[in-house]
Structure 1
Amino acid sequence: MPIQYEPTRDQRHYSDFGVACPVQAPLVRPGEQGLFIRRPRADREGSAAAARFEIAPGRWGLIPLFAKAREYPFTFEARGETAAGERNFYQPWKRGHRCVVLADALFRRGEHHEAVVRVSRADGQPLAMAGLWNGWRSPEGECVESFALLTLPALNPREQRWVVFLREAWIDDWLHCPVEETAAYLRPYAQDKLVRRTILHDPSIPLPERGPAA
């Protein structure tokens, strides 16, 4: 469970997409329910299909089409440089099932055991985290939606992988671009526009296990 995040709950940020934000938990951990923004599903009819964006709840931890159970492990993150060919992620990639998760902050384990690093934007705006989503049919016939966050290698070998944060001007294109252009948006975010703050372990923020992402 490498990272966790504080979802954006200010409705104004969702209004820019023309969607309403349901009540969310104050912190989302791997395996829990989160909200993601995507272009409307192609199998929808009516006004929903005519909209440019929609918001959907889903499990953080993508469930591949071939999974036998919803508790599928180790799919909280998708490596941006290899996801297009990975068994767990290539179907959502080739179908253009891209999404955005809005977060006020992201938390990861710090260098010391009792430390947590809080990552946020310097201007106070939400982090727009790039992801992939999938719809999985359970053995009982239920459609379960889920998502994974995309990551990139850290520039510093000592650091963990970095989650892909999208620039505002790229979000619409990221959600609607052709599949062959997907990788063009997976770029490191300007580090001077982020604030990293190390905090002492707060019992209300369970420390992530050490993992590959940051």
Structure 2
Amino acid sequence: MSSRYTLSKPPEEVARRFKADVTDSYEPRFNIAPTQLAPVITSDSPKGFSFFYWGLISKWANNKSISERLYITRAEQIPEKASAKTALMERRCLIPADGFYDWKKVSKKGQVPYYFFEKQHQPFAMAGLWEEFEDDEGEQMHSFTLITCAANQLVSEASDRMPVMIEKSRESAWLNKATPFEELVSMLTPFPALQMQRHPVSSRVNNIKYDAPDLILPAAPSDQFGNYTLFD
């Protein structure tokens, strides 16, 4: 389901990779979850990081709890939904990352967490849409949603969905407001499986309050109950 991801690189490396100013509020993250603040690069401000809430909140839904159900947008639904189509044309963003988690079902209730990352351990950009909304106090706030597509061969062993990872050579076009709709849609495809790797990680990732470097380290595959499995 792609409900967690990481941006664990130091600020200097992230700034160099995305050619964007990284503010002092940036810090490496190992367990970014929906409803939390996370850095994005928007088409309105492509030279710097902005910090938005993960969980798209439309102008008609200023209740933050609703965002928990709106943190993912399916790529194939964008051409079919007027609101998503408008967002794609007007409010795109890159979501800097260097890995994401997903859970492989190994029994009726058991799931083993896996960490997926670029083969050379390089940061990458995921495709997103952003929204501006007004909270109950009248303050302007911002949120974003992660676009997902069908999983590639590597990720499909754990999930049928994965984040859209924008090819580095196409990131500028993604942020360019003049890019045609058809070209934008053509970018919403699975990242090549041969350019990725994965390994099982600790079930501690299930706790959204736990955010530490050991989360991305390889671990013996075990489910959320602590039961070890032979599946890998």
Shorter-chain TM-score category?
0.7 to 0.9
CA distance in 1, matches of 2:82, 2:32: 25
Task: Indicate the residue corresponding to 1:206 in structure 2.
Answer: 206
Distance 1:120 1:77, change over 3 A: same
| Structure 2 unmatched ranges of 5 or more | 209-232
Name the SS for the 1:188 alignment partner. Answer: coil
Task: Indicate the residue corresponding to 2:78 in structure 1.
Answer: 83
Task: Indicate the residue corresponding to 1:47 in structure 2.
Answer: none
CA distance in 1, matches of 2:173, 2:89: 16
Matches within 5 A, 1:1-214: 2-11=2-11, 12-15=13-16, 16-21=18-23, 22-24=25-27, 25-40=29-44, 52-72=46-66, 73-86=68-81, 89-95=84-90, 97-112=91-106, 113-154=110-151, 159-176=159-176, 177-180=178-181, 181-201=183-203, 203=204, 205-206=205-206
Distance 1:7 1:152, change over 3 A: same
Distance 1:114 1:81, change over 3 A: closer
Name the SS for the 2:64 alignment partner. Answer: coil
CA distance in 2, matches of 1:91, 1:66: 15
Check conservation: 1:40, 1:53, Cα contact below 8 A.
no
Check conservation: 1:40, 1:54, Cα contact below 8 A.
no
Identity of aligned residues (%): 20
Name the SS for the 1:183 alignment partner. Answer: helix
Tell me the C-alpha RMSD between the 2 structures.
2.4
The number of residues matched between the two structures is 195
Task: Indicate the residue corresponding to 2:217 in structure 1.
Answer: none
TM-score, normalised to structure 2's length? 0.74
| Structure 1 unmatched ranges of 5 or more | 42-51, 209-214
Distance 1:155 1:168, change over 3 A: closer
CA distance in 2, matches of 1:23, 1:13: 10
